[in-house]
Structure 1
Amino acid sequence: MTLERPIPPDPYELLPTVPSFTLTSDDVQNGEPMDVRHAHGSVGGENISPQLTWSDFPAETRSFTVTCYDPDAPTGSGFWHWVLVNVPAGVTQLPTGAGGGAGADLGGAFSVRNDYGEQSYGGAAPPAGDRPHRYVFAVHALDVDRLDVTPDASPAYVGFNLTFHTLARAVIRPTYQIKE
């Protein structure tokens, strides 16, 4: 059963406009369905974050933040799947699975708690039968070396800080749907 509700706006349409740069992935494509391995374990997925590579960001970039947000979640506030902060400016790609909380050396970067309450990537899990949800993977190029946040910060608090430090942003918007 599809939930009848209006399509929410893209979250970045509501914030100050910033330049863009290049974001690509071997695992997800703009407007295309994600593989089940990027879905949450509760819906049969493997909870594996996709590979991401970025380039052509502003020369004055001092760090990055990587986020994944579902604006289509039936919550009134969307759903934050991943918020990785304080990625050093020299890191320009994340391997598949980097959002697992452990593993890849990301130079001191860490994930704040997502809306699952975990400090890692949490895969797609839209309601069964709902329309395809958009998963907005964004890399934010920042004008500071580190955001002054801790691992227990909320995604909204990180977003507030991002608004004041984002030089440019690159986005990929794959989709995911669970058929009834």
Structure 2
Amino acid sequence: MTGRDDSPKKRRAGMAGLAWNSPDLATAETLVLDSPDFDHEGTIPAVHASRRVGGEDLSPALTWSPAPADTAQLLLVVEDPDAPTPLPFVHCVALLDASMTGLTRGALDAGDPADGVHVLRSGIGSGYFGPAPPKSHGAHRYVFQIFALAKPLTAGPRGTALDSAKPREVLAAAGDVLARGRLDGFYGRT
């Protein structure tokens, strides 16, 4: 007996696997990341949840402080460390123009992304996939992370095309990070 409860209701990926905790994406410089749709560690409104659970898969509006002057590109990642998976589930990966300081609601839609937004593969398809925690699994934490990259990300590892690269491959290819910001929200189902 290991003393560990591996039942699906208890299993969680954990915070250690977040992009935020990757040594390759660490830096002391910070960006202030906010949303007019929810407060840090507040509840994410249902409209931003997945269609599978009654939401609209509408990405929330986000704002952030300007990136350092030598930023080549911004990388936005949304992860769920409470997913019952080996690593946090990736809800969105997108590359943004370095000059951007915000996104309107719905800007991460794969079919119609905002100007300056290049949506990549997530854990399911591409673009923003809203919260969809399993019923009775408790509230899940959704971690919105933005990274200011020193060099543009043009290909995945071993030269793979970015549009077909898996989210973890994109994160591994990100390179030097000049600054980063984080915003956490919660969403649960009963």
TM value normalised by structure 2: 0.84
Q: Does residue 82 of structure 2 align to residue 72 of structure 1?
A: yes
SS of corresponding position for 1:137? strand
Q: Name 2:3's counterpart in structure 1.
A: none
Distance 1:141 1:14 in 2: 15
SS of corresponding position for 1:110? strand
SS of corresponding position for 1:130? coil
1:74 Cα deviation after fit: 0.1
Question: How many pairs are equivalent?
Answer: 175
Question: What does residue range 7-156 of structure 1 map to in structure 2 within 5 Å?
Answer: 8-10=14-16, 11=18, 12-16=20-24, 17-18=26-27, 19-85=29-95, 87-107=96-116, 109-116=117-124, 118-149=125-156, 150-156=162-168
Distance 1:103 1:97 in 2: 9
Q: Structure 1: which 4+ aligned runs deviate by more than 3 Å?
A: 102-105
User: Greater CA deviation, 150-159 or 54-63?
Assistant: 54-63
SS of corresponding position for 1:159? helix
Distance 1:7 1:153 in 2: 21
State whether residues 49 and 131 of structure 2, in contact with CA within 8 Å, keep that contact through their aligned partners in structure 1. yes
Letter in 2 for 1:155: P
Distance 1:144 1:30 in 2: 29
| Cα distance change of structure 1 residues 4 and 65 upon mapping to structure 2, 3 Å threshold | same
- Between the aligned residues of both structures, percent identity stands at 31
State whether residues 38 and 50 of structure 1, in contact with CA within 8 Å, keep that contact through their aligned partners in structure 2. yes
Q: Does residue 179 of structure 2 align to residue 168 of structure 1?
A: yes
- The root-mean-square deviation of aligned C-alpha atoms, in Å, is 2.0
